[in-house]
């Protein structure tokens, strides 16, 4: 049997449960995209994941000078060796999250990190066993300035914080090297794809209900794609969009134009509540291994076939474009 016949046969076999089974049967279609799917649907860092990192790195690294930096995988670096060397001796003054980016502000220069699909960041002691697939290492010296006054309260006294009088490394690993580290020296203009196009952060207190109503009215398309659209609101990706839509009781493939005013408001409330809940959970679950992404606590995403936590119906799971979407056909309308 030729490859075309094999595909048709496999496709027909996959369709049989749909023709005979219940409406919420989960179907997997054989195709040439399946190899790509294994990469595409990894747990991409989103707003809550990166919020924890920003808090931890701000508390643990601010006030320390950068002693050295190296990039074993130079493909992740957007900048020159001279620009990287120019960071040496500069003291880190601030770490913040903006959407899916982390920004590290030094005395003079700036580093912006977009971890993309597989980039992960974490602390390590100098000399500790090397991580697999390490792409960059930033070594910081002992703290020269006091602990930042604006450090997140949840980090105060944390046992995982590096000692002030000891050096520490910030390591970045990336299995696919799709993530990027952008060097932004003072006076140098360098494009950072996706940075300027971002809308307001989904967790920003300035994004009140009225602002949400105005913004959502300008966008069309399916609800899941809308939540993932960084120009609408920044920071939400594939995983948390499933959680938000489940909390709001709205179907992922429903059109924005079909929403009633109270459903628009419900989506806003669910967005704020889910992101705040996720950050609270991650503060307890992530440290001290900040380089390990935690998603086991999510209620629906990637839990197709399990009972819906709200109504008990078996959750459906589809993979349009190689990205998993999990939802309840009964209580999400």
Q: Give pLDDT tens digits for 56-114.
A: 999 999 999 999 999 999 999 999 999 999 999 999 999 999 999 999 999 999 999 99
Strand-pair partners of 140: 66, 168
Residue 146: its pLDDT value, please? Answer: 85
The Cα 197–Cα 212 span in angstroms is 17
Residue 192: its pLDDT value, please? Answer: 97
Residue 29: its pLDDT value, please? Answer: 34
Q: Which domains does the chain have, with CATH numbers?
A: 47-184 (3.20.190.10), 209-327 (1.10.8.50)
Average pLDDT, the chain: 89
Residue 16: is its pLDDT beyond 50?
Answer: no
Half-sphere exposure in the Cβ direction for 88 (13 Å, CA)? 10
Residue 311: its pLDDT value, please? Answer: 98
Residue 13: its pLDDT value, please? Answer: 38
* More confident: 103 or 147: 103
Question: Which of 165, 102, 108 lies closest to 136, judged by CA?
Answer: 102
User: What percent of the chain clears pLDDT 70, i.e. is strictly above it?
Assistant: 87
The Cα 111–Cα 156 span in angstroms is 25
301-310 long-range contacts (CB < 8 A, ≥24 apart) are 301/238, 301/239, 301/240, 301/242, 301/243, 301/326, 302/41, 302/239, 302/326, 304/26, 305/26, 310/246
Residue 256: is its pLDDT beyond 90?
Answer: yes
Residue 123: its pLDDT value, please? Answer: 98
- How distant, in Å, are the alpha carbons of 188, 263, 294, 298 from that of 251? 45, 11, 25, 17
Residue 170: is its pLDDT beyond 70?
Answer: yes
- Residue 42 — pLDDT band, cuts 50, 70, 90? low
- Residue 147 — pLDDT band, cuts 50, 70, 90? confident
Residue 47: is its pLDDT beyond 60?
Answer: yes
Burial 210-244 (b: 16+ CB within 10 A, else e): eebeebbeeeeebbbbbbbbbebbbbbbbbbbbbb
Most confident of the following: 5-14, 29-38, 116-125:
116-125
* More confident: 43 or 271: 271
Which uninterrupted H or E stretch holds 159? none
- Residue 295 — pLDDT band, cuts 50, 70, 90? very high
Residue 35: its pLDDT value, please? Answer: 35
In this structure, the number of other CB atoms found within 10 A of the CB of residue 34 comes to 12
Which uninterrupted H or E stretch holds 40? helix 34-40
User: What percent of the chain clears pLDDT 90, i.e. is strictly above it?
Assistant: 84
Residue 160: is its pLDDT beyond 90?
Answer: yes
Residue 231: is its pLDDT beyond 60?
Answer: yes
The Cα 224–Cα 238 span in angstroms is 8
Residue 14: is its pLDDT beyond 70?
Answer: no
């Amino acid at each position: 049997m030729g490859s075309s016949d094999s595909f048709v046969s496999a496709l027909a076999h996959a369709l049989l449960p749909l023709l005979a089974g219940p409406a919420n049967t989960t179907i997997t279609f054989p195709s040439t995209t399946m190899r790509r799917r294994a990469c595409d649907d990894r747990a991409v860092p989103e707003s809550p994941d990166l919020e924890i990192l920003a808090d931890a790195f701000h508390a643990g690294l601010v006030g320390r000078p950068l002693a050295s930096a190296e990039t074993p995988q130079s493909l992740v670096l957007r900048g020159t060796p001279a620009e990287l060397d120019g960071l040496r001796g500069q003291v880190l003054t601030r770490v913040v999250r903006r959407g899916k980016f982390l920004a590290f502000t030094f005395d003079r220069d700036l580093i912006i990190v977009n971890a993309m699909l597989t980039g992960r960041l974490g602390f390590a002691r100098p000399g500790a066993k090397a991580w697999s697939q390490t792409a960059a290492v930033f070594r910081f010296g002992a703290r020269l300035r006091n602990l930042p006054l604006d450090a997140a309260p949840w980090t105060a006294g944390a046992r995982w914080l590096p000692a002030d009088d000891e050096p520490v490394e910030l390591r970045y690993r990336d299995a696919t090297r799709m993530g990027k580290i952008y060097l932004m020296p003072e006076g140098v203009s360098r494009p950072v794809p996706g940075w300027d196009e971002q809308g307001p952060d989904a967790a920003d207190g300035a994004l009140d209900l009225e602002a949400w109503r105005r913004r959502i009215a300008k966008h069309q398309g399916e609800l899941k794609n809308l939540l993932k659209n960084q120009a609408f609101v920044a920071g939400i990706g594939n995983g948390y969009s499933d959680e938000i839509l489940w909390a709001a009781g709205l179907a992922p493939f429903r059109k924005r134009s079909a929403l009633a005013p109270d459903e628009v408001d419900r989506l806003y409330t669910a967005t704020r509540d889910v992101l705040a809940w996720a950050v609270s959970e991650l503060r307890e679950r992530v440290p001290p291994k900040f380089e390990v992404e935690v998603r086991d606590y999510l209620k629906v995403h990637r839990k197709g076939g399990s009972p819906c936590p709200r109504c008990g119906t078996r959750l459906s799971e589809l993979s349009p474009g190689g990205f998993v979407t999990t939802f309840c056909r009964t209580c999400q309308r």
